[in-house]
Amino acid sequence: MKNRTSLILATLLFFSVSYIVYNSFKGDQSNQAAGEDQLYTCGMHPEIISDEPGNCPICEMKLTPILKGKDSENQSDLIVDITPEMQQRMNIKLTTVEPGTFSTSIETNGSFTFDERTEQVITSRTMGWVEKLYVNYTGMNVSAGQKLMEVYSPEIVAAQQEYLTALKYTKTIANSNNGNEQSSELIQSAKRKLQLLRVTDAEIKQLEESGQVQTLTPIYSPVSGTVMMKEVVQGQKIDPEMPLLKIVNLSSLWLIADIYESDYSQLRTGSSAKITVDAIPGKTYNGTVSFIYPELDMMSRTAKVRIEVPNYDGTLKPNMFAKATITGTTHTNAIKVRSEAIIKSGKRNIVILSLGEGKFVPVEVNAAESSEDYTRIISGVNKGDVVVLSAQFLIDSEANLRSAINRFVQPGKSEVKPENNQNESTGPNQSVKTPEVKKAEEKPKNPYGIESPLIRTGMIDVESIDSDKNGKLFQCPMDWDIISNEAGRCPVCEMKFKEYSLEDIKKNLTTHGYKYK
């Protein structure tokens, strides 16, 4: 009987020890798993991830605990809870997405050239010699119909003589009908020859009236403009294929500019352009896109565009360098956000969407073109959505963007419980607030949850903090309402204080929404 009792006790002891060991082992595994999920990061530099508490090696800010996300593909795991106090410390600014008119503009550079439609090259249709030259230098302005030179051409002299002979022959056989028809053909043939040699109708009429051959043939300017090329001198022998002068009208110039391939679809013929020239400061010229070249450069991936620019006062010169702002396409009722709200990673464009109640989540958007301070959004956000406008501190650089986005986590939610169960409504258990309690509640509240004389609330008296009157104070570059007269660390984020002058302290307070005396 005694042995049987001992056996039962031993069996019970074995199972008890086994149960304790099992629970202890299970608890160790649970703690280990929790420990593996416990990570620490820096609010200023989210790429800093540590499995132990400490300070950030970059800014020396105290690391804050986070929990590792279990499913990075699930958007709900990317939601971040940020308390109002932390939002103030992080200086988060929000903006509402509203539709409106969106106009694009293209910034480019180019240089002026001649309007090809106004270029005229002066040549002679016969061989000859320049007996008189009235254009003596390059750059001379000439008018349409102005005499440029007088040329002696044996061929033109012979053609005049043929015409006079045809006229004389007509008078000789005036009484013969067949002769009249034949002489008329001769006259018309001789006259046509003179016209092909650029002898004007007035000169032909003068030849008929005078009956004298003109040995010198004048050459006139067909257009008004400026002589841009002079390849002849007085007394020179000239040939039919030789260019003598080039005259260009400079009252209108072409600006040839390069447009990137990404901006090509925004261009339209007839679009307006604003032209500025460094050589002529303070003046803006208006231009119009007249032609978009159909071919892109293989190497630079750019296309050329031609902009017509009036130049009535002649201040613009060919080959002068200029900057152009071309008005692109206009979209009405377009969804647009400020460009600074978009985080660009090269492959993806992301905005931080505010879900309300301190919840934020990154969403990918399909961004189109940008203009000035805004970017047009094709998809990803809608009218009325609220996005973060200033949260650049969530990433250290664009090079770390991908890893930073993957580190969006869902921290454990903390619930603030009241210290007592007093009923807020009127009732017999409601505590009576004394004037001292009411006065204390009216004081500015400390948003950090800790007590420190360095935390300045309400109207901050900057002058009184400077007790040694040296005109300098120390301020936390993260929590701007924490100001000290001595060097040290912030009692909230443990960042090192930065020294500022009193004027800079006041500017910092104004910039971040604090009031001071």
Least confident of 31-45, 233-247, 366-380, 399-413: 399-413
3-state secondary structure of 180: helix
Contacts of 386 (CB under 8 A, 6+ apart): 94, 95, 96, 97, 353, 354, 356
Over the stretch 117-163, which tens digit does the pLDDT of each residue have?
999 999 998 999 999 999 989 999 999 999 999 999 999 999 988 88
3-state secondary structure of 285: strand
Over the stretch 484-495, which tens digit does the pLDDT of each residue have?
988 988 888 778
Q: What pLDDT score does 327 carry? A: 86
What secondary structure does DSSP assign to 223-266, as a single string?
S-EEEEEE---TT-EE-TT-EEEEEE-TTEEEEEEEEEGGGGGG
Over the stretch 76-98, which tens digit does the pLDDT of each residue have?
456 677 777 777 777 778 888 88
Residue 493: exposed, middle, or buried by beta-carbon count in 10 A (0-12, 13-18, 19+)? buried
Q: Is the pLDDT of residue 262 over 70?
A: yes
Q: What pLDDT score does 328 carry? A: 78
Over the stretch 385-401, which tens digit does the pLDDT of each residue have?
888 887 544 533 333 44
Q: Is the pLDDT of residue 272 over 70?
A: yes
Using alpha carbons, select from 466, 386, 84 the residue that is nearest to residue 474: 466
Pairing outcome for strands 225-230 and 147-152: unpaired
Highest-confidence range of 64-68, 209-213, 256-260, 495-499, by mean pLDDT?
256-260
Q: How far is CA 400 from CA 363, 365, 394, in A?
A: 17, 19, 11
Q: How far is CA 31 from CA 19, 34, 51, 63, in A?
A: 18, 5, 14, 21
Contacts of 294 (CB under 8 A, 6+ apart): none
Over the stretch 344-390, which tens digit does the pLDDT of each residue have?
766 788 888 888 877 777 788 888 777 778 888 888 888 888 888 87
Q: Which CATH class is domain 93-115+250-390?
A: mainly beta
Q: What is the pTM of this model?
A: 0.49
Which residues in 413-497 belong to E strands, given as ranges? 472-475, 483-484
Q: Is the pLDDT of residue 407 over 60?
A: no
Q: Is the pLDDT of residue 298 over 70?
A: yes
Q: What pLDDT score does 322 carry? A: 95
Q: Is the pLDDT of residue 305 over 80?
A: yes
Query: How does DSSP classify residue 468?
Result: T
Q: What pLDDT score does 433 carry? A: 47
- Provide the mean pLDDT of the chain: 77
Over the stretch 312-328, which tens digit does the pLDDT of each residue have?
888 999 999 999 999 87
Q: Are 46 and 403 in contact (CB under 8 A)?
A: no
Q: What pLDDT score does 445 carry? A: 55
Report the DSSP beta bridge partners of residue 383: none
Least confident of 13-27, 179-193, 278-292, 332-346: 13-27
CATH architecture of 116-248: Beta Barrel (2.40)
Distance between CA 79 and CA 362 in Å, rounded? 8
What secondary structure does DSSP assign to 444-462, as a single string?
PPPTTSS--TTB--SSB-H
Number of neighbours of residue 198 by Cβ within 10 angstroms: 17
Domain ranges of the chain: 2-67, 93-115+250-390, 116-248, 435-511
Report the DSSP beta bridge partners of residue 218: 150
Q: Are 267 and 294 in contact (CB under 8 A)?
A: no
